[in-house]
Amino acid sequence: MFVSNRAILHVDMDAFFASVEQARRPGLRGLPVIVGGPCGGRGVVATCSYEARACGVRTAMPIGQAERLCPQGVFLPPDFKAYTAVHERLVELLGGFTDQVEVASIDEAYLDVTGSRRLFGPPRAIARRVQEQVYAEHGLTCSIGIGPTKLLAKVAAGLNKPAGIGELQKADVGGRLRDLPVGDLHGIGPVTEERLAALGLTTVGMLQDVPFAVLAAAFGRDAHGLRQLALGRSLAPVSRRRPLPKSVGREMTFADDTNDLELLRGTLLGLADRAVADLRRHGLAARTVALKVRYNTFHTVGRHRTLPRPAAAVPAVYRTLVELLDDLDVGVRWVRLVGVHLGSLTHDAFQLTLDEGWRELALGAAVDEVRAKYGFSSLSLAGARGR
Amino acid sequence: MRLTVDRTALVDKLAILARGASTRSALPVLSGVLLQATDGRLDLFATDMELSIKATLATVVEQDGDIVVPARLFTDVVRNLPSETVAIEASESAVRVTAGRAAFSLNSWAASDFPQTSSFDMEGSLTVGRGPFVETLAKVGRAASRDETRPILTGVLVSMGGRSLKMVATDSYRLAVKETVLEAEIANEVQAIVPVKALTEVARLAGTLGEGDIDVAIGENQALFRLAGKDGDVYVASRLIDGQFPNYKQLIPETFDHEVTLGKELFTAAARRTSLLAQRNAPLRLTFAQGKLTMRALTQDVGQAEESLDMPYEGDEFEIGFNPQYLIEGIEAVDEDEVRLRFTNPLRPGLVSGAEGSFVYLIMPIRLSG
């Protein structure tokens, strides 16, 4: 049984990066644009325009292969700064329709418009207005799915790409949804799809009908979740929280291999500073600190430690890194690269401490403010090395 | 060693020692109680190497001597003996306990295997009343840390001198300071960081033994406490914690931007109710607005709660989050009906106190997300 009577839109930008490039360089319109890189190198395709897709180019394909398939293509390196800027303005635009916006990724968002209908009309009318406004302001097209759950809205958007509007209702779960390949369900990736195929389950309908014992035997505790997906029963609400990144990190390769402890520590301080700045920009705190060291032999070691409480300030992170570094024989062996990764991220509220905790936070906030205005390098920590 | 002892008196003493004996130690002998018979007196010792307890019991000793008996088993045996007169006789590696027609022989350890961590020498001791001691500790004890990774915070800073007994504890999330005025003047001044475990033990014994005094001797690296009991004294010895206690005076801000006064009972009752929905470390959110305080708690996937109280607050609306347990413990520790709360902003410490300043409780907020 559905308990959801909500109206949810899934807004999915069409070939986002490539479309942004085409929008700002009208000369590229109608041409096969492939964003990714580096060209000729080991990079992969990040996004390609529909013209490029017509040649068989796909996301995540090695650039080299894309070049062979589409020699006439326009290959561009990604300009994430530009994409992020457009993304932020799009999120703002969507916020004009409802305050219930969940940003799923740089080019996707869910809108719960249940409460917006009296203001803007039925969901389909809202979807049309979103498309019109996105096109008018940014010259970009998007596909929009409408459904009572995020799951159905997303499937509906996928079925109507590019630039379409589609709707899946509760009733469609026993109808149209049944004929779709299982891979169309968000949450079933290529690996699961393959395992399902091995059981002969290729369509959503098959996944709905297969005896539960068969699923359970193959997927154990995940069986229930799969069945719920097939029945369109994922009721996760539209959440205004952004999905948490799994970790933030920074690495640096030295111009010359080094065994200089001072330089290593200074570099770690600089990397910690940047990683912590990323953390704070997302409003997060980290529970684990990981150190990565690659020796000149290319042998790479990683060490991590869990902090007694989440940290969003440099000192706690740096102290831990130094301790981890001291456990390695870096003074003896030559180091090629060091990296700092902060994990177990949380943006849950966290308990502050009396000992300097709040001073660190206040300082961090002040530093962030200055850097936002004058650039990251306008302020650096004494002793920090690198860039 | 050969002696006769009253069953009930011995059971009482063994109960006192029960907390001292170590139940899970690499040294098996620490799970024992050392019995030492001399001069018409039975001394009993237990230790976990950090905390040692000694109890004395006046009794009839026929032959001096000593032995270490397994604490748990020996206590169970004595408690279950069929008559009040108990004879205890020790050989080198066993103790024989007889009462009425029951006889037990328990394998034991030699006294020389038992580590004596204290001489229980009370030289230079001061005296404080049990009442003031227990009361003072009750206000600050819960603020001490249980986390052994920062040993210094598992201690309470105890200062005595003049007519003052002062204790300070912090686990870095909150800081409690309580000063109690003593009836009798103390001749000299002492200060030490004593493990909260030892102080709690002393307070527990004070509760068991009833009214009276506590003699306190602070040595170089050990604190000693003596409490007189009805048929013999009880001693607690504890190592002191080495190191620098946080400079707590510096942590307490001199000025705050906001101040409110609230009824203790009303506030704690509402806070307890609301906190039922602050599970899994979720904060209790307090929103101060004109004339009103609203409490909120929310636990993802569980539910939420909200309650508001009228209160005389003037100023900008602001929201601050706390660990509900820390906040409630601080407020309950205030001995008055009205509690003062002072804040500056949601990232700075707040101060809980009464109208008079003998108790202050500094508490760090929980940083709220969005």
Please state, in angstroms and rounded to a whole number, the distance separating the CA atoms of residues B273 and A302.
46
Question: Is 90 exceeded by the pLDDT of residue B166?
Answer: yes
Please state, in angstroms and rounded to a whole number, the distance separating the CA atoms of residues A180 and A159.
9
| Residue pLDDT, tens place only, B307-333 | 999 988 888 888 999 999 999 999 999
Residue B158: predicted pLDDT: 97
- Give the best-scoring range by mean pLDDT among A61-75, A76-90, A342-356, B135-149: B135-149
Residue B6: predicted pLDDT: 95
Contact criterion met (CB < 8 Å) for A361 and B347: yes
Give the closest residue to B88 by CA, choosing from B59, B110, B46, B112.
B59
The one-character DSSP state at B242 is P
Question: Is 70 exceeded by the pLDDT of residue A54?
Answer: yes
Say yes or no: ipTM exceeds 0.85.
no
Smallest CA–CA distance, residue A358 to chain B, in Å, is 6
Contact criterion met (CB < 8 Å) for B349 and A354: yes
Nearest by CB to A349, from B147, B251, B369: name it.
B369
Residue of B nearest to A346 (CA): B369
- Which architecture, in CATH terms, is B126-248? Roll (3.10)
Nearest by CB to A353, from B149, B173, B369: name it.
B173
The pTM of this model reads 0.65
Please state, in angstroms and rounded to a whole number, the distance separating the CA atoms of residues B352 and B363.
8
Q: What's the average model confidence in pLDDT over B77-81?
A: 97
Contact criterion met (CB < 8 Å) for B364 and A361: no
Residue B88: predicted pLDDT: 97
Question: Is 70 exceeded by the pLDDT of residue A242?
Answer: no
Nearest by CB to A358, from B175, B321, B348: name it.
B348
CA distances from A357 to A82, A127, B117, B312 (A): 36, 46, 38, 31
C-alpha angle A172-A177-A181 in degrees, rounded to nearest 5: 175
Contact criterion met (CB < 8 Å) for B366 and A354: no
Contact B352, B162 (CB under 8 A): no
Contact A342, A247 (CB under 8 A): yes
Q: Which residues partner with A288 through β-bridges?
A: A306, A343
Contact B314, B335 (CB under 8 A): no
Q: What's the average model confidence in pLDDT over A108-137?
A: 89
Chain A touched by B350 (CB under 8 Å): no
Residue A1: predicted pLDDT: 38
Mean model confidence pLDDT for chain A? 84
Please state, in angstroms and rounded to a whole number, the distance separating the CA atoms of residues B370 and B364.
18
Smallest CA–CA distance, residue B201 to chain A, in Å, is 28
Question: Is 60 exceeded by the pLDDT of residue B73?
Answer: yes
| Selected catalytic residue, list A67, A108, A193, A251 | A108
Chain A residues near residue B251 by CB distance under 8 angstroms: 354-355
What are φ and ψ of residue A228, in 5° steps? Answer: -60, -40
Domain spans of chain B, in order of start: 2-113, 126-248, 252-363
Q: What's the average model confidence in pLDDT over A335-343?
A: 92
Fold entry, domain B252-363:
DNA Polymerase III; Chain A, domain 2 (3.10.150)
Residue B35: predicted pLDDT: 96
Contact criterion met (CB < 8 Å) for B368 and A349: yes
Give the closest residue to A313 by CA, choosing from A250, A366, A264.
A366
Domain spans of chain A, in order of start: 16-80, 172-230, 247-378
CATH code for the structural domain at A247-378: 3.30.1490.100
Chain A touched by B273 (CB under 8 Å): no
Please state, in angstroms and rounded to a whole number, the distance separating the CA atoms of residues A209 and B105.
72
Least confident of A351-360, B194-203, B268-277: A351-360
Q: What's the average model confidence in pLDDT over B183-193?
A: 90
**Which residue in B154, B172, B249 has the most chain A C-beta atoms within 10 A of its own C-beta, making it the best mutation to test that interface?**
B172
CA distances from A101 to A145, A240, A335, B349 (A): 14, 5, 46, 34
| Residue pLDDT, tens place only, A291-314 | 999 998 889 899 999 988 788 888
Residue B119: predicted pLDDT: 87
Q: What's the average model confidence in pLDDT over B10-20?
A: 90
Q: What's the average model confidence in pLDDT over B242-247?
A: 91
Q: What's the average model confidence in pLDDT over B132-145?
A: 95
Please state, in angstroms and rounded to a whole number, the distance separating the CA atoms of residues B11 and A330.
61
CA distances from B324 to A311, A335, B267, B328 (A): 21, 48, 12, 6
CA distances from B186 to B126, B161, B217 (A): 7, 5, 12
What are φ and ψ of residue B250, in 5° steps? Answer: -70, -25
Same fold for the pair B2-113 and B126-248:
yes
Contact criterion met (CB < 8 Å) for B362 and A348: no
What tokens were used for B228?
Answer: 């007189």
**Higher local confidence (pLDDT), A131 or A5:** A131
Residue B268: predicted pLDDT: 95
Q: Does domain A16-80 have CATH number 3.40.1170.60?
A: yes
Contact A101, A109 (CB under 8 A): yes
Contact criterion met (CB < 8 Å) for B347 and A352: yes
Give the closest residue to A110 by CA, choosing from A203, A237, A227.
A237
- Which architecture, in CATH terms, is A172-230? Orthogonal Bundle (1.10)
Chain A residues near residue B172 by CB distance under 8 angstroms: 353-355, 357
Please state, in angstroms and rounded to a whole number, the distance separating the CA atoms of residues A72 and A169.
42
| Residue pLDDT, tens place only, B340-349 | 999 998 888 9
Contact criterion met (CB < 8 Å) for B170 and A358: no
CA distances from A234 to A177, A203, B96 (A): 14, 18, 71
Contact criterion met (CB < 8 Å) for A358 and B349: yes
Contact criterion met (CB < 8 Å) for B323 and A361: no
User: How confident is residue A332, by pLDDT bands cut at 50, 70 and 90?
Assistant: confident
Contact criterion met (CB < 8 Å) for A354 and B364: yes
Chain A touched by B324 (CB under 8 Å): no
Question: Is 90 exceeded by the pLDDT of residue B165?
Answer: yes
Share of chain A above pLDDT 70, in %: 91
Chain A touched by B107 (CB under 8 Å): no
Residue of A nearest to B285 (CA): A349
Chain A residues near residue B350 by CB distance under 8 angstroms: none
Q: Would you tell me how many other CB atoms lie within 10 Å of the CB of residue A278?
A: 15
Residue of B nearest to A363 (CA): B347
User: How confident is residue A347, by pLDDT bands cut at 50, 70 and 90?
Assistant: low
Q: Does domain B2-113 have CATH number 3.10.150.10?
A: yes
A108 is catalytic: yes
Q: What's the average model confidence in pLDDT over A55-72?
A: 85
Mean model confidence pLDDT for chain B? 92
Residue A3: predicted pLDDT: 47
User: How confident is residue A38, by pLDDT bands cut at 50, 70 and 90?
Assistant: low
Question: Is 90 exceeded by the pLDDT of residue A227?
Answer: no
Question: Is 70 exceeded by the pLDDT of residue A31?
Answer: yes
Residue B106: predicted pLDDT: 96
Residue A339: predicted pLDDT: 93
Please state, in angstroms and rounded to a whole number, the distance separating the CA atoms of residues A167 and A146.
5
Q: Which residues of A touch B (CB under 8 A)?
A: 241, 283, 308, 347-355, 357-358, 361-362
Q: Which amino acid is at B157?
A: L
Nearest by CB to B172, from A349, A354, A361: name it.
A354
Chain A touched by B247 (CB under 8 Å): no
| Residue pLDDT, tens place only, A83-107 | 888 998 898 888 888 888 888 888 8
